[in-house]
A and B are shown apart, each in its own frame.
Chain A
Amino acid sequence: MLTGILILTALQTVFTPTHNSEGNPDFSIHGFEMLPRDSVDAVFLGSSIFLDGISPMKIYRDTGVKTYNLATSGQPVSLSCSILERVLRTQSPKVVFLDVGTLFGKDSVTTWRYFLDNISLDSNKIDMARKYQSLFSEQGRDAIEALVPMIAYHSRWNSLTKENFDLDRGNGTYFTMGFYLIGNAASATATIYDIDQIVSEIYENRDPERIPHPSEQNIAYLDKMQTICSENGAELILVKLPSIVFPQDAYGRTCWSRYTYEQIRELATSRGLTYIDLNYDVDTGVDFKTDSLDGGVHLNICGAEKVSAFLGSYLEENYTLDRSTNQTWDKNLELYDSLRQTALLQATLNFRAYLARLAENMEGRTIVIAAKEEYISGLDKEDFDLLKALGLTIIQNGGFADSYLAVIQDGIVQFEKTSKQRISYDDSPGGIQINAVSSGWYSTSLASIKINGTEYAMNSNGLNIVVWDNNAGLPMDSAAINTRNPGSSVGQSGKIFSFLRNYEKYLMQQDKRGGIAA
């Protein structure tokens, strides 16, 4: 019997999806479950806008206040309410931040499952499963299926991946404290005031029924959360992070505008709740040209740092919270900084700023630069000076449409060459096998950077750059800048998201090995 239960438990772990591919790191919830009692003073509950937009470690670095981000993709307010109840079993937060965007959302099985699948079995989980059943019974969902994930997930037998067989996935801490760092950047093409004009046209003149309203059920959950908070000595604060969503987009239902803002303002006033809207009330300095990962919907690492700086100072100014340093949090901060630096490098779109970031941290990295077609016309003295800071001096000697190839390891230039001919580099400095090729226009335009047998170069015109972490044995970034034209911005490879996730996993493994526990 015991053997059977053990086998079933192991199978459940294997079959339960990690959800990581959907942007929901399961280790975020596991990490929270592992926190010592009463170790955080504030929690963030909400959707992916919070998940990608608030960095507890940034708040800790700035203020010493310890917080945890418990937002999940598409988190409905019903789930936020249940999470709050769970939080209060082990923590005594003084402040609970709720993403008000969720008040306009709907319940979804997937988001509930994500949370339920990743928490340990206890009476609270059973309560949550019953609530799940009451919410989704019409869809044939029940509490037993929520408590025994195998019932729902056994049909994944033909789509299991290697990742699913990591039975140890529930034991790690999450050094970002729930924040999901993303280095991708895509600028928004409008401001919140442009959105106001667009929705005004749609709502007032074309389709007044499209004006979103918080559902009665969601308001009831908000009231319940307020009651729970007041009973537990916490303050519920409603927050809306900067977000630009066109109503006609795929994410249109999450479009934030004056219409939604005013409804929430009224709702908050009538209930005596604090409401901070970072779109209309506070300017945190978020620049949607550089600080969003997807054209305005979500913030990337740059935007998240600005918002978190504001929230940190808000907590510091308005509450008396424990700001003492903590050894565990300091260790987590080291790991966080490693990941943050990588994410910031990825998110830097300005070429000169990018070179400056590269120069900041050369130790433990291998940088390979390969030119394609033509790289020199758009570079000027300031660029060459920044490249010199990397140790690259030959680059400025190249002629029009020359090939150019450079390899830098631990700050030392291993190879640098320009030529009218195709340039190849095949060597293994520091045990890292590098096979790189640069061909300018004269030699049939190609940029290839293979590290340990895998191609990482974007093969775009201009300079192609691959940054490799020597210790982790993982790629950090792959970018390309069309330096034929002056002032070109950095183009991001589509692979950088997975680079960051792999590096995150590596750091977590290091955390486990190093015995760092929250």
Chain B
Amino acid sequence: MSFTSIPFYLFAALTLLLYYVLPRRFQWIVLLVMSLVFYASWGLELIPFVLVASLAAWFCARKMETIYAFTDVKIKTAKEAGENPPARTWKDMAKKQCRRWLWLAFAVLIMALIFVKLQRQMATLPVLSWIPWFFSKVYHHFGKLLIKLPGSQLFLKDTIFSDHGRMAETVSILVPLGISYYTFSLISYVTDVYWKKDKAEQNYFRLLAFTLYFPKILQGPISRHRELAPQIFEGHTFDYQKLCFGLQRMLWGYFKKLVIADRLAIFVGIVNNNVENETGAHLLVGAVFATLQLYCDFSGCMDIACGFSECLGLTLEENFNRPFFSRSIGEFWSRWHITLGAFFKDYVYMPIVVPHLLKHSKLVKKKYGERASRAVLAIPPLLAVWMLTGIWHGMDWAHVVWGMYFFCIITISTVFKPEFEQVNKRLKIKEESAGWKVFQTVRTATLFIFGGMATRYGTLEKGYIVIKKIFTSFHVEGFFDGSLYTLELSRPGFLLAILALFLLYAVGRLQEQGISLRERIADNNLLFRWIVYYGLLFSIIIFGIYGPGYDAKQFIYMQF
């Protein structure tokens, strides 16, 4: 049940109805049941993965909390008895014990993630091929016991050839929906419990309700339990304005997805699959469109998820903050896929920096000075974060190169910041002038677009061909001779895409200026408001890419 399918619209309406009709204390149960139904609509076979992952996280988190609580009671009791307990030692011991449970939770969660991500590679290695083969067999037999729901299609997403044993067999690739997103959410949950930043859930089904919460399961955001769970469980009364705002945001998300992203996808699909025969001009347009498609697709889905949550009275974390208005790559990544960046920052970068690097950086500072110390603090965590970010997006060399590309840019801009500032000073560049801002914005977008070429075409070699063609075989006439419109996207469709992108830019520009469009619209009279709402709704209905003959593309980030 995709966000862009009619069954989902009906499903969402039913969820809203049940959510507000039933007493508030049952609201989280409604969300749990509906989330299970939503998840099962993609294939009942996928559910065991998420059940086991959340069970492991729930069990380990409870164990940790019990250990902490027991230690606290022990210290308190000793103090009350007038003893002088070694509280520090006991707490350290408790932490040590908890660390075991934390590692156990990590092991289950990360192993499952690694298995899912690496099963293709494992199946081709004789030593490891038994692992996906075994799971495939188990699932094949297990799957027969389950009733398949309509639309269950991700279970056997792909088949590959394995050389397991003496017989070559086909191994099914299992792709549990949203595994990266819920795994990271659960990792943050158990880690926060370990750090005592969060309370463990006593009821497994409450943790499951948080894990499976369906607006975020497809593509995130990677929610923190301590942020989202209290909202899910507190209960909400019907709020008309929140409902209106939520629906508006969902509409905007559908506009981005169906009108822009899926329209650009028509052109992108043709050009990217024919790299060898296309001109540099067409490939450049294809690269720009592919980047915008990715943005509209991903952020559109987020708007739908956040909008629907708003209808329920919940606030989901934002994943995008108009990244194409960024003036540097560092800023860009703080505005793009924000919760992934925040996850790596809080659970990879900070744990590396705080206990380990801080000590070394002080030594370096003493010996080599402030800049060297800053470099020590910055470079290793950045390397780890970007390596992981690259691997998270894809288990291949292209994605590692892609991660290293951004690591290099951010490292260079961080380490050599004083030199760059010096150059700007000498060139008498006014850093707050409009022209310089535009240059920085275009430069950032260009760097992002070119970075994407490492992964966009399937292989690094193809990415290299595209870059080479853009610089050596551009054929500028490709912009004017009408050949752009022969690549499946007709001239009216092309113009419509440009118009829609302009609208996207205009809305972003206003939001950058701090103008809340939703509130501005709400301040206007009834007629104006409804003209805007219907204008957006019917522009999606008319200009959206959906329906028979053209399937709305699955959201790109769903595969993670």
Beta-carbon contact of A157 and B542 below 8 Å? yes
- Whose C-beta in chain A lies nearest to the C-beta of B495? A158
The answer to whether the Cβ of B546 comes within 8 Å of any Cβ in the partner chain is yes
Which residues from A are CB-within-8-Å of B551?
140
Asked if A320 lies at the interface with its beta carbon under 8 angstroms from chain B, I say no
B 536-560 to A, binary, CB cutoff 8 A, 1 in contact else 0: 0110011111111111000000000
Q: A140-B551, A144-B6 are in contact. Are A155 and B534 (CB under 8 A)?
A: no
Q: Decide if B490 is an interface residue (CB 8 Å cutoff).
A: yes
CB neighbours (8 Å) of B546 from chain A are 151, 154
Write the B476-514 contact mask toward A (1 if CB under 8 angstroms, else 0).
Answer: 000000000000001011000000000000000000000
Is B534 a contact partner of A7 (Cβ separation < 8 A)? yes
CB distance from B503 to the nearest CB of A (A): 16
Q: Bound complex: CA of A151 vs CA of B6, how far in Å?
A: 10
Partner of A4, one of B534, B543, B548: B534
Q: Is A386 an interface residue (CB 8 A)?
A: no
Q: Does B541 contact A154, Cβ atoms closer than 8 Å?
A: yes
Interface string of A119-156 (1 = CB under 8 A from B): 00000000000000000000111101100001110110
Task: State whether the Cβ of B471 lies closer than 8 Å to any Cβ in chain A.
Answer: no
Expressed in whole angstroms, the minimum distance between the Cβ of A492 and any Cβ of chain B is 35
Tell me, yes or no, whether A220 is within 8 Å of chain B by CB. no
Q: What residues of A have a CB within 8 angstroms of the CB of B537 in the complex?
A: 4
Note all chain A residues with C-beta closer than 8 A to B544.
154
Inter-chain contact A11/B547, CB cutoff 8 Å = no
Contacts of A141 in B (CB 8 A): 548
If the complex has contacts A7-B534, A158-B492, A158-B493, are A145 and B541 also in contact, measured as CB distance less than 8 A?
no
Residues of chain A within 8 A (CB-CB) of B549 are: 140, 152, 155
Quick check: is B368 within 8 A (CB to CB) of the other chain?
no
What CA separation (Å) do A416 and B537 show in the bound complex?
Answer: 63
Chain B residues with CB below 8 A from A158, complex form: 490, 492-493
For residue A190, CB closer than 8 A to chain B, the reply is no
B436 at the interface (CB under 8 A from A): no
Instruction: Give A141's nearest chain B residue, CB to CB.
Output: B548
In the complex, the answer to whether A11 meets B542 with C-beta atoms within 8 Å is yes
Contacts of A150 in B (CB 8 A): 541
B528 interfacial contact with A, CB 8 Å: no
Contacts A3-B534, A158-B493; is A151 near B547 (CB within 8 Å)? yes
From A7, A8, A145, A155, name the one whose CB has the most chain B CB atoms within 10 angstroms. Answer: A155
Nearest-neighbour CB distance to chain A for B244, whole angstroms, equals 13
Contact (Cβ within 8 A) A152 B534 = no
Contact A152 B538 (CB under 8 A): no
Query: Does B530 sit at the interface, judged by CB under 8 A?
Result: yes
Asked if B548 and A139 sit within 8 Å, CB to CB, the answer is: yes
**A49 CA to B530 CA, complexed, in Å:** 50
Instruction: Give the interface centre of A4, A144, A154 by most chain B CB atoms within 10 Å.
Output: A154
Q: Restricting to A364-381, which residues have a CB under 8 Å from any CB of B?
A: none
| Chain A residues whose CB sits within 8 angstroms of the CB of B541 once the complex forms | 8, 11, 150, 154
Q: Could you tell me if B548 and A152 are in contact, using CB atoms closer than 8 angstroms?
A: yes
Return A111 CB to nearest CB of chain B, in Å.
Answer: 15
Closest A residue, CB atoms, query B547: A151
CA distance A139 to B550 in the complex (A): 11
The complex places the Cα of A145 from the Cα of B548 at a distance, in Å, of 8
A154 touches B548 (CB 8 A): no
A151 to B542, CA, bound (A): 9
User: How many angstroms from the CA of A60 to the CA of B493 in the assembled complex?
Assistant: 51
A154 touches B534 (CB 8 A): no
Question: Which one of A8, A155, A157 contacts B547 once the chains associate, using CB atoms below 8 Å?
Answer: A155
Listed residue (B541, B550, B551) with the most chain A CB atoms within 10 angstroms of its CB: B541
| Closest CB in chain A relative to B179 CB, distance in Å | 28
Q: Who on chain B is nearest to A151 by CB?
A: B547
For residue A264, give the distance in angstroms from its CB to the closest CB of chain B: 34
Q: Distance (Å) between the CB of B141 and the closest chain A CB?
A: 28
Question: What chain A residues lie within 8 Å of B547 (beta carbons)?
Answer: 145, 151-152, 154-155
A157 contact set on B, CB distance < 8 A = 492, 542-543
CA distance A371 to B313 in the complex (A): 82
Given contacts A140-B551, A152-B547, A155-B549, 11 further A-B contacts (CB under 8 A): A7-B534, A7-B538, A8-B538, A11-B541, A144-B6, A145-B547, A145-B548, A155-B550, A157-B492, A157-B542, A157-B543
B: residues with CB less than 8 A from A are: 6, 490, 492-493, 530, 534, 537-538, 541-551
Instruction: Name 17 A/B residue pairs within 8 A (Cβ), A-sorted.
Output: A4-B537, A8-B538, A11-B538, A11-B542, A139-B548, A140-B551, A142-B548, A145-B547, A151-B547, A152-B547, A152-B548, A152-B549, A154-B541, A154-B546, A155-B547, A155-B550, A158-B490
CB-CB nearest 3 A-B residue pairs: A158-B492, A151-B547, A157-B542
